[in-house]
Chains A and B, each alone.
Chain A
Amino acid sequence: MLRWIFLLITIFSLPVWAEPIELVLPNKLTAKAEYRKAEAGKPTVLLMHGFLQTHEFPTIHRLTEGLSSAGYGVLAPTLTLGVTHRKQSKACEAIHTYTMDEGSKELATWVNWLKANKTRTIVLMGHSFGSVELLAYLSTNHDPVVRKMIGVSAAEGRIKVDDKSRDKVIRQTRALVKAGSKNLLTQPFSFCQKFRATPKAMLSYLEWTPDHIILQAGNLPISTTFIMGSRDDRLGPGWIEQLGKTKAKVSVIEGANHFMDGDFEFDLLDTVLLELKSL
């Protein structure tokens, strides 16, 4: 019953609360985001989209609407990925020069923007590889306003090879970076069969191995929850179990897939709201 009330509120309140935000970054690029102001006393959730996606990705969009309807503030930025005013998902075959560090910096900029807009509590929530982006941000940034991290369908950043081969690829890429090579590399990564990137950008992604993710997730100084779908076929075997071995909380929505669509979006929202209430 509650979820239906949320749905109705979302439908009728959307035009009122939606606010597109453009933010000029230090590198002169303009980043775009959607912002929903939180009700008084409620935290703002910074929603991070998945790999090469935008804040208009359905899962992010549904969460934005749901959380906003529940009175939570929502900032759903779109990483520029080196493209000013980006609002489209970026193709795997595009020339990727954008690194994980640049992503962390953009997240930091957006956290600062929230703080500049008098946000006292920030919950970082990422979907899929967005969770890794948040881990990368949290690994280098410690801001007390950021109180919690929620990873939805957190991906392990796999390159679809065994560990031995992956290490070899990383070593070779690292050597190229070290040698200052500018030649573009093409490597299967995440859902991309041909992810083309500069060695530096490629390496920044490849270094976020599952082990590195587990490690970083286990060392976060803030409350961390991973909400996973039991039928997420985009994950490697045992990934949820590995996440469960960390100190982070893992909530599994039975029957949900990687995108938590259908009826499972409400389960996801319910789960997220429960997590937010725990703050």
Chain B
Amino acid sequence: MTDAPITDAWIRRLNLLQLVVAGIIVLTPTLWMVLSSLKPSFEVTAYPPTLVFAPTLENYAQLTKTTPFLSYAINSLIVTIGSTALGLLFGIPAAFAVSWTRISWPAILTLAARMAPGTLFLLPWYVMFRQVGMIGSYTALILSHAVITLPIVIWVLLPSFDGIPRSVFEAAQVDGCSVTRILWRIALPLVASGVAVASILAFVFSWNYFLFALVLSNGDSKTLIAAAFNFIGEGSTQWGALMAAATLIALPPLILAALVQRWLVSGLTLGAVKG
């Protein structure tokens, strides 16, 4: 039996090795993007590719000089924050009502909407928004992105509301509290961490969403993601600026996700897995 601990140690080492290999595969492409964005422009397309170089911010400077990057970023922020707020405004009361009544069809309705291909709505939206002259407006973009954020808010908050003991609500009812008052005064503070996770997930997926802005935005309201094409077009010979744009676009969701990584998994599966 003396060799058992040795085998255990080896198994652990082998597992650690696999973890490191997986980590390298996951990290390397992202790292390559960031490195390329910091290379002097003549060196980005060097072949063989270089690993040692004098880092520079010239690609970032060029990006802000040759493209309206900042105004795209502001458009992205307006649409993302607007749609996240709208998702919370509609989603919080709906999640509470579904949790209270156990009548789940409103939650399933929003989820079904999330599962259909976005192009399905985009056609009629395009026809309708064009008729009322709303193509390119923030309103159209925020409304369309709220279709993404609403189910996230509802399905992340459902288990949180379900976790509150019913006796808490009953006690409040005996004291004469209305249902609406119970939601805002009692239930909502109890699920504050759930609201934080829901907000961040809604923000990330609204920020990352490509399809709707591709059609519904115009030159003035173009979001960063929809503008990615412009960077690729101009970047065919300028990988440095292209990778600088990619890095900056990826930064907000990555930072936010890192903040709530511990709670992300159960939220991401829309309640299908209890993390």
Is the pairing of A and B real? Answer: no
